[in-house]
Amino acid sequence: MRKKQYYANPNNQFWRIIYQVFENDGSGSTYDDKTSFLLEHRIALWDVFRSADRKGALDADIRAEEPNDIAGLIQAYPGIKLILLAGRKAEHAFHRHFPDIGIDVDYVPSTSPAYAKKSFDGKTNDWKSAIIKKLDSSGK
């Protein structure tokens, strides 16, 4: 059954990481609470791909991808100052489809438990560094 929620797999570390970045434990949060938390911190969450074929859960298995209209999103919301690309597949696809997007783009490690090269703390530190660096440079 599909939940139609970002990072719905309870083993995915995204929500734990994003709460830790802002020093909040996020315990007991519903999906609405989680998305409200993102909005409060001026964070948008969107896939690089509008559609794709994938058998299984690994990003390496993504085929026939069609990108989202990220250029249109940036044009519609000129306040977007940073795009974080979670995982190498997203990073490579993004740069292939949007080579000259005109705003800061940074890679952060995948929050998938399948990406085990980096510990939870290491992933959290990388995410926090990327987000806080941008917050510091924008004065917000």
Mean pLDDT, rounded, for 62-73: 89
Enumerate residues 6+ apart whose C-beta is below 8 A from 66.
49, 50, 51, 52
2 falls within a domain: no
> What is residue 73's predicted lDDT score, i.e. its pLDDT?
94
Enumerate residues 6+ apart whose C-beta is below 8 A from 74.
80, 101, 102, 103
Q: What pLDDT band is residue 71 in, cutting at 50, 70 and 90?
A: very high
Q: Are 28 and 37 in contact (CB under 8 A)?
A: no
| CATH code of the domain containing 48 | 3.40.470.10
pTM of the entire structure? 0.86
pLDDT at 139 over 60: no
Considering the chain, what percentage of its residues have pLDDT values greater than 70? Answer: 91
4 falls within a domain: no
9 falls within a domain: no
pLDDT at 133 over 80: no
Q: How many CA atoms lie within 13 A of 36 on its CB side?
A: 6
Instruction: Tell me the C-alpha to C-alpha distance, in Å, between residue 91 and each of 1, 17, 22, 49, 107.
Output: 28, 19, 24, 11, 6
82 falls within a domain: yes
120 falls within a domain: yes
112 falls within a domain: yes
pLDDT at 1 over 60: no
Strand partners, 86: 108
Average pLDDT, the chain: 88
- When divided into structural domains, the chain yields a total of 1
> What is residue 4's predicted lDDT score, i.e. its pLDDT?
85
44 falls within a domain: yes
80 falls within a domain: yes
Query: What is d(CA 112, CA 122) in angstroms, rounded to the nearest whole number?
Result: 13
Query: What is d(CA 43, CA 18) in angstroms, rounded to the nearest whole number?
Result: 10
Q: Which domain holds residue 23?
A: 14-138
